[in-house]
A = this chain, B = another copy of it.
């Protein structure tokens, strides 16, 4: 491919909107261009990468016997209504209507639609296991599109769905996909770790995410330094620290705390550590009020609260709720509160200072279990140094990008949609379901974020838009041009994908663009090299250059490319 004809121009400067180093490089290297917030067009260079990512995903899905299908993007409301997700997904979904007034969702995901086909196509136990998958656009009305292709409002997802007879079958399909995901990410150069995750709005219980650890990630991952425990913050738990025995002392005593409405103010005024206080957060859930009680040095985790309260969004209590519960804003405490009380598992049975439910007052020596009752639940954020729930080792928190997720959904969808099959024993049983997603664009953006230097992208060979970048310098030298074109032809005859910089630009511009675009091998045919009978070969990920005899250059590069390819085949 001649670079002069390539649609999409490289940018000297990154547009102001670029938020992360990888976002800047993605735009500068003409990988994709936005049409609006979170809506991107793949330019030719980027689309070549996307296609290679797709191909790796497809090969690994095919390897475990998955069958490719394609469902539409415009999906009738009726199927979503069967599971209730027509309503629950509304805040993040794009909807449309036809001219007859029928309603549709731009598919946010495809579980309902696949389950609909499965209940029609699968009649007997003999037809399972079955895994189907497709690559298809998803529409998600994200409030905050972010970091280029990392979080967008439309993207192609490979979503796979397994359909099995029973839990054992589902388990086999789940771990087959797990293995496929490990191979898939490794082949595209992503160092992804699997972590336990929350099932969110998907239903089901067991789920894993594949996370690539990087500072630009927006997920927080809890990792044990001693064993293999790894979980998303939304799901992670910690073992209770063996608290020092603290004497309970006498009954709660009221102390005056005028104007001290925050933990920080109490700490400063009373000279006690944050852990000495209880914080009580009043929330609204359905028709009632819920009080969540945590140690003063802990944060509540929103995802855990959503799951516990079974609500799509966590909402704080309003004035009327405070009045009904008998709480006073800034001075809320669990003692005597008229509300459902949830006590976080990190709250110990020892004296705390808590709100008195009276203006400008707190209660000292409040002992949970003695002075107030409540249901125990894990609703806190794990933090650095907490103890691993599995081995007691120290946990640490890292940032990650979720590049894939897998859900063991079980009979959840079949039950809601009446999807059964005729079992071997003549009874009707629900279709057991699993769901498995990878976003193509996010994978590409993550590869850029984790494969770059200060001059540009450093593509892994397996997904590079081209394998060799041939540069002719200067183009106006006919002998150089001829030699470069011969080399391009020889490389292409050897099966190498070549981008040929045939532009009349300076060496500085050409080398800068080459580093920016990040093709694994740069091969320079120059007037100076021709005098010496050599061609310069340089790997994008190394500093040193290699001057190869011109006559051997094509064969050498074909061999180098082949060696590099074989590492991820």
Contacts and interface: CB of A to CB of B under 8 A. Distances in A.
A57 interface: no
A99 B35 contact: no
Interface stretch (A41-49, A191-199, A205-213, A365-373): A41-49
Contacts of A9: 121, 123, 127
Contact of A74 (B48, B116, B154): B154
A445 to B, nearest CB: 15
Nearest to A74: B154
Interface in A1-32: 1, 4-9, 30
Interface stretch (A136-144, A295-303, A329-337, A535-543): A136-144
A95 B102 CA distance: 13
A91 B5 CA distance: 38
Interface in A123-159: 123, 126-127, 129-130, 132, 134, 137, 139, 141, 143, 153-154, 156
Contacts of A229: none
A70 B47 contact: yes
A65 B137 CA distance: 27
Contacts of A99: 91, 141, 143
A71 B153 contact: no
Interface string A451-489: 000000000000000000000000000000000000000
A43 B79 CA distance: 18
How many copies the complex holds: the figure is 2
A7 B69 contact: yes
B130 A73 contact: no
B67 A6 contact: yes
A424 interface: no
A73 B121 contact: no
A39 B72 contact: yes
Interface in A54-88: 65, 67-76, 79
Given A123-B9, A132-B7, A44 B72 contact: no
A511 interface: no
A106 interface: yes
Contact of A137 (B97, B116, B137, B141): B137
A47 B76 contact: no
A98 interface: yes
A320 interface: no
Interface residues of A, number: 63
Contacts of A181: none
Contacts of A285: none
A67 B8 CA distance: 11
Contacts of A67: 1, 5-7, 44
A120 interface: yes
A433 interface: no
Contacts of A120: 33
Contact of A35 (B7, B76, B121): B76
A338 B256 CA distance: 93
B73 A117 contact: no
Contact of A5 (B41, B65, B69): B65
- Interface centre among A35, A71, A91, A113, by most B CB within 10 Å? A35
Given A5-B127, A44-B69, A48-B68, 4 more contacts: A7-B122, A35-B72, A35-B116, A42-B70
Interface of A: 1, 4-9, 30, 33, 35-36, 39-44, 47-48, 50-51, 65, 67-76, 79, 91, 94-99, 102, 104, 106, 113, 116-117, 120-123, 126-127, 129-130, 132, 134, 137, 139, 141, 143, 153-154, 156
26 contacts: A5-B130, A7-B67, A7-B122, A7-B127, A9-B123, A33-B117, A33-B120, A35-B72, A35-B75, A35-B113, A39-B72, A39-B75, A41-B117, A42-B70, A43-B69, A43-B121, A44-B67, A44-B69, A44-B132, A50-B70, A72-B154, A73-B73, A73-B139, A74-B153, A94-B104, A106-B106
